[in-house]
Amino acid sequence: MSLQIKVPAVGESISEVTLSRWIKKDGDAVEMDEVIAEMESDKATFELTAEKPGILRTVAKEGDTLEIGALVCTIDENGESAVTGDQSSAPASTPPAAANEPAAGSQEPPASIQVKVPQVGESITEVVLSRWLKKDGENVEMDDQIAELESDKATFELTAEKAGTLKQIAKEGDTLAIGAVVCEILSSAAGTQPAAAPAPASVQPSAPAETSKTYASGTPSPSAAKILAEKGVQASSVTGTGVGGRITKEDAVKAQQPAPQAPAPQKPAQPAAVSQQPGASSPAKPERREKMSSLRKTVAKRLVAVKNETAMLTTFNEVDMQPVMELRSKYKDKFKEKHGVGLGFMSFFTKAVCEALKEFPAVNARIDGDEIVYHDYADISIAVSAPKGLVVPVIRNAGALSLAGIEKEVISLATKARESKLTLEEMTGGTFTITNGGVFGSMMSTPIINAPQSAILGMHNIVERPVALNGQVVIRPIMYIALSYDHRIIDGRESVSFLVRVKQLLEDPARLLLGV
């Protein structure tokens, strides 16, 4: 019986990969989770592992371009069973081998379990292993937190599904698809057998381990080799951090950093040459590269997708904030004394938006295929700048909350965002978004829609400006507001009318209380 090994899903935007090289040859005996091939996408190089022990039968060839789900190879279990059959049939002639082989055979399936990346959200296809909380070989208890995973929306912990000894497979910084193996946990039964298992590992795999080290150590992956060639850096001068010392793409990118530091001490020795030839100093200009976080990469993809896939327009208006500011100034102390939170602008805007959405439901809707989904409730997403990037937690049923209730939710969600403690549930399901660039001094902007929503309201800074009021020029605190919307579902009349309604409610806050 043979097991088919196919190209795994490695990212929502990756449809094909290249088989760059075979690490194991056709006909080789492989162990479970042993690296058998190296594959490369347009974004990263990753390794293909054996899903069970057996004899490798290669199907694809080095250099082949394979689609996700395409057959790469098979693992013939019959070959393994024949070997174990021979060993078990001749225990008398080879007692040491017979003693070791059953131990290895009994060690794999029953003695360990694989801990995989769990399903963490319908729109999340990959996560990043940000850090290990337990060390390789360390004993863990059931439900112990063993690793920290980071998606584009939240950070969460991976727990041990049983007690035993931790065997790490993925490394910190690895990007893992949902369902990918992160580690193994060897049970207490395995805890005694790993001591016996190293014996055959040191007897037989000593040669293969040596050859694999010779093969991988100092050898760049295809993408790494390309980067090193562009930078003019010799592979021999780079220390690989990949499996067996392989030079990864990240190693190649970082290899350029020491280069500028080497000529640095030489420049003072030739100050005249540097001053006479300014162009020669340009390569030594300081620069640095940092790997994009998973959150940043996903946000970038989605923002570009929104711009490309929606008919996005933006309409503007201005709001005289004096009535709201006078109301806040008059009641802010009593409000805080009674409710324990301050009275900010966000609660007024959220309340005004919820009232306006009732009158213009298309602004609160979304497109799903050939259908328009109207939401008869208002779950308002609030954009928050967190240390790892922009996040958008959701205030549930905001229309049913009071100003105090909204303020409490805003404070709670903003605090969790800055401490990276937001849950997936708190990050998903919004129907309309409010973003406040005014806190950073923005005067006017065109915010990008938070898909799959159809509209987003942008707040900006408040500036005293001269305006005409009752035939006289007066100074008023004015805020420009912007509504970006998907013109496929929201017409110009609706967008402008919605924004005018928000303006009316804010310039006469009594309307919020009276519902008029």
Tell me which residues are annotated as active site: 487, 491
Residue 105's SS3 state is: helix
Q: In what order do the strands lie in the sheet with 175-177?
A: 155-159, 145-150, 126-132, 175-177
Which helix (H) or strand (E) covers residue 272, if one does?
A: helix 271-276
Phi-psi region of 408 (alpha: psi -120 to 50; beta: other; left: phi over 0): alpha
Rounded to whole angstroms, the Cα distance separating 362 from 144 reads 47
Residues 164 and 140: beta-carbon distance below 8 Å: yes
Tokens of 141: 């208890």
**Quick check: bond before 452 cis, omega within 30?**
yes
Three-state SS at 57: strand
Task: Tell me, rounded to whole angstroms, the distance of Cα 515 from its chain centroid.
Answer: 42
The dihedrals phi and psi of 493, each to the nearest 5 degrees, come to: -60, -45
Nearest CA among 389, 420, 189, 213 for reference residue 296: 389
Compute CA distances 348 → 218, 407, 440, whole Å: 61, 9, 19
Nearest Cα to Cα of residue 173 among 223, 130, 116? 130
Of 39, 32, 35, 29, the residue nearest 8 (C-alpha): 39
* Closest to 148 (Cα-Cα) out of 421, 384, 413: 421
Alpha carbon separation from 252 to 18, 22, 220, 226 (Å, rounded)? 20, 22, 8, 9
d(CA 295, CA 298): 5
Using only C-alpha atoms, the chain has a radius of gyration, in whole angstroms, of 30
H or E segment to which residue 479 belongs = strand 472-486
* 466-476 per-residue burial string, b: 16 or more CB within 10 A, e: under 16: eeeeeeeeeeb
